[in-house]
A and B are shown apart, each in its own frame.
Chain A
Amino acid sequence: MTREEILAELKKVIAPYTTNKEMLAGIDERTDLIKDLKINSANLVDIIIDAEAKYDIEIDYDSADKMVNVGNCIDVISEKLTEKK
């Protein structure tokens, strides 16, 4: 999957946890999940679990810690998809 394809799917994963739909529509790799999308930190674990199910990957603790902005999320998902091959 390309980064653009991962981003398109990632938007769907994030959507239930943000009320800032306008910002979600225009997210880029620098968008911060908490500061920009106003996602409550308690929902970050939900996003990790949903991403695992969506991409059929396992996100370890160290990788999960890095998932602060959209670019980091794409890095981690891309890395785990490559490992799966």
Chain B
Amino acid sequence: MISAGNDIVSFAEINPVRTTQPAFYKKFLTDIEVSQYQKLPGKLISFEHYVWLLWSAKEASFKHLQRFHPPLVFSPLKFVVTVDRAQKVDTLLDPDDIQPDTEYICYGQIIAAGAELSFESFLCSEYVHTVICDSMAAGKSHQGVRRIADPSPQHQSEKVREFCLEKLSRVKFEGKFDFIKSEHGVPSISDVQSGLTYPVSFSHHGQFVAYSFKM
């Protein structure tokens, strides 16, 4: 069974002073995760961004796993993240998607609920966006980030779905798609004609919305 998980954190929406205070980040980062920052090659990313990179990895993996385990509780300290490497990116990964000012890609793993997942995080001065990678599952991964004008929850929800539908129309030229939710609120893409469903993950924070799906 394939799944999808992504999460975005807008740096405009977080408190940078609080972020670097141990009383704050120790609520969701383990001592080992904190100490791993010192081992990151080249200190490419700030500690503030590192904290939110790990948060987004934990959130994205929670969304990925929740599809299989609906009663799963998001307990951040039980989602253990290791960042293997961070590298600077000079070109956009996918010219169809809007990923402005992408500066770094970070790769790593998360161990949680008896599973080990890989992730990729896209980090720039404005946000960090993490996507869970499931190389064992068939299909191609698709993801995107977009800036929106109105950050109200209803607008975020509408815009991220519109954005995802635009991508779907490019991936599959034919077909009518809809979004459905399980009884536990986990979203899927429904191909109305074929009846097939595909896992999708939505996220939004402030003026950014993002999605990931595999098809």
Q: How many residues of A contact B (CB 8 A)?
A: 14
Given contacts A19-B152, A61-B75, contact A42 B18 (CB under 8 A): no
- Encoded as 1 (CB less than 8 Å from any A CB) or 0, chain B from 1 to 16 comes to 0000000010001110
Q: Which residues A37-51 have CB closer than 8 A to chain B?
A: 38, 40-42, 45-46, 48-49
Q: Is B196 part of the binding interface, using a Cβ–Cβ cutoff of 8 Å?
A: no
Closest Cβ neighbor of A53 among chain B residues: B23
Assembly CA distance A61 to B73 (angstroms): 12
- Interface contact B153-A46, CB-CB below 8 Å: no
- Interface contact B74-A42, CB-CB below 8 Å: no
- When the two chains form the complex, which single residue of B18, B73, B77 contacts A46, counting CB atoms closer than 8 Å? B18
Q: How many residues of B contact A (CB 8 A)?
A: 20
**How many Cβ-Cβ contacts under 8 Å join chain A to chain B?**
33
- Interface contact B23-A49, CB-CB below 8 Å: yes
Q: Which of A40, A46, A49 has the most CB of B within 10 A?
A: A40
- Interface contact B75-A40, CB-CB below 8 Å: no
Assembly CA distance A48 to B26 (angstroms): 12
Residues of B within 8 Å of A19, CB to CB, are: 152-153
Q: Is B119 part of the binding interface, using a Cβ–Cβ cutoff of 8 Å?
A: no
Closest Cβ neighbor of A66 among chain B residues: B73
- Interface contact A42-B55, CB-CB below 8 Å: yes
- Encoded as 1 (CB less than 8 Å from any B CB) or 0, chain A from 21 to 40 comes to 00000000000000100101
Chain B min CB distance to A18 (Å): 9
- When the two chains form the complex, which single residue of A38, A40, A49, A65 contacts B18, counting CB atoms closer than 8 Å? A49
Given contacts A20-B153, A38-B153, A65-B74, contact A45 B15 (CB under 8 A): no
Which residues of B line the A interface, CB within 8 A?
9, 13-15, 18, 23-24, 27-28, 52, 55, 59, 73-75, 77, 152-153, 185, 205
